[in-house]
Structure formats: C-alpha cells, structure tokens
Amino acid sequence: MEVPLVEVMAALPLIELKGVQRQYRMGGDTILALDGVSLRIERGEFVAVVGASGSGKSTLMNIIGCLDVPTAGTYALQGKDVRTLDDDALSTLRNREIGFIFQNFQLLPRASALKNVELPLVYRDVPVRERRELARRALERVGLGQRTAHKPSELSGGQRQRVSIARALVAAPSLLLADEPTGNLDTATGREILELFYELHAAGNTILLVTHEPAIAAACPRTVRLSDGRVTSDGPGSTAERAVAPALHGESHAKVEESVH
C-alpha cells in the first residue's frame, strides 16, 4: 500500500543539516564560517541558536533561511535539498515556507501596518480583499487589531516588532526564523515579545530564534550553542528551566543573567 505524500512529509524533519560547511574567500584567505554543522529540527519545536559574534550563527541563519547554500554537506527543508534548487526555486521556497523576523523590523516606513503585513501575500498574487483580511487577522493575533492604519513611525519599538511578526505569520509558513528579535528593544518589551513567541509556539508554530544573549536563549525550550562554526552543545538544560520563569514573568534581565551563569 502506497503511503500518502502528506504522511511521508510529516515523517521528515522540518530542518535537517548534515556536515554543513560554508567557506568564504577573503583576499587570499579561506574563512570557514561553518565547520561540519549537523542539526535536526522537528515541526513544532522552539529552538534558540546562540553564539558570540563570529561564531557562525548568522551564516547558519542565512543557510536555514535559504539566503545562502552550503559549500559542503547538505541542508534539507521540508525534505528538499537546497543545493539542488536554482535561484527561482529557492526564492519560492523562502516565500512559502519561511517567515522572517528581523532585529531592525524591516518595515516599509510610508506604509501602514496592514500594508506591511500584506507584503508576502502580494508576492503570492493573493487577491486584494483576501490578503487584507488575512493581514487583519495576523495583526489581531499579535495584539495590534486597533493599529492597522498606523505607520511604523507612529508605533513603539515593541509594536513595530509585532507588525514584523504578523508579517512573518500571515502566509502561514512552516518556520518562523527570528534574527535577534529583542536586540533593539528594552528589557520589558523584549520580555513581552518572548512571551508572544511562547504563545505562537503553543499554537503549533515552529520557531528558530537566533540570538547572542544567553538569557534569551536559556528561556527557550531547546538551545543550540555555536562556537567557531561548530555546534558545542544542543539540548534543554537546567538553565532553561531556571531562566524561563523569571524571563517571562517580570524579573529583571540582570537576574536572568545570574540564573544562566
């Protein structure tokens, strides 16, 4: 009996990297940004990737986000090996499977919150009435149902990040890929955004959060640590259990830092 394709896809990990390397040429030197990274992320996981500047986390994010491809090794998203795809196929995969959330929000300054959230649906040629309704629902989901007509300059930093999250959600992607999503926010607002990620995770979204902040990473159910382009640790730990409660319920960033160290 033939197994339905839907069941076959569901059995595959959402993300699977095997021995991934990424080299860059700088002058006469070869820089090894990633050195044999293997990583598997299942649907519905909430994973933080943490590392200092130069650890390789930005390169890893670019590869997982289909913005770059490995020099060696394999990366499969939804069972598709990205190295076998041309630029058009990679662009389509990004648009359909990944919702990006950026540190600097990346919002169109002259467009309303609603029009910013609609943008991924424009690229999919979704009819105007449908995409506006979907964008409204996405903004309501992140608590901005009353801010649809506001431009980014009329919103706080936390509200702008919520618009960015709504934009990432609107096309129902397989993966939310967040790059330092609390990096430009104060501690209290960053805590609110982290709480929102937990709500989205509880609703079934797969989230990969890239950060340099140990306290933020420790508050996630699974933490992957990078150093010199290699995975040095991967998994939940007692630090995550200790940090998650204060990080989400009001203790200061400093106290969370203490719990990690």
pLDDT given at position 255: 35
Q: How far apart are CA 93 and CA 8, in angstroms?
A: 19
**Which stretches of the chain drop beneath a pLDDT of 50?**
3, 5, 237-261
Smallest CA-to-CA distance from 66 within 35, 38, 45, 97 is with 97
pLDDT tens sequence across 90-110: 988 998 899 999 999 999 999
pLDDT tens sequence across 196-240: 999 999 999 999 999 998 888 988 999 999 999 999 999 984 444
| Beta-sheet pairing, 15-26 with 175-179 | unpaired
pLDDT tens sequence across 151-162: 999 999 999 999
pLDDT given at position 2: 54
Radius of gyration of the chain (CA): 19
Structural contact between residues 145 and 139, judged by C-beta atoms closer than 8 angstroms = yes
- Residue ranges and CATH numbers for the domains of the chain are 42-70+86-260 (3.40.50.300)
Q: Cα 141–165–202 angle (5° rounding)?
A: 60
Other Cβ atoms closer than 10 A to 84: 10
Position of tokens 């955004």?
Answer: 193
Across the beta sheet with 175-179, the strand order is 98-101, 175-179, 206-211, 46-50, 222-227, 230-235
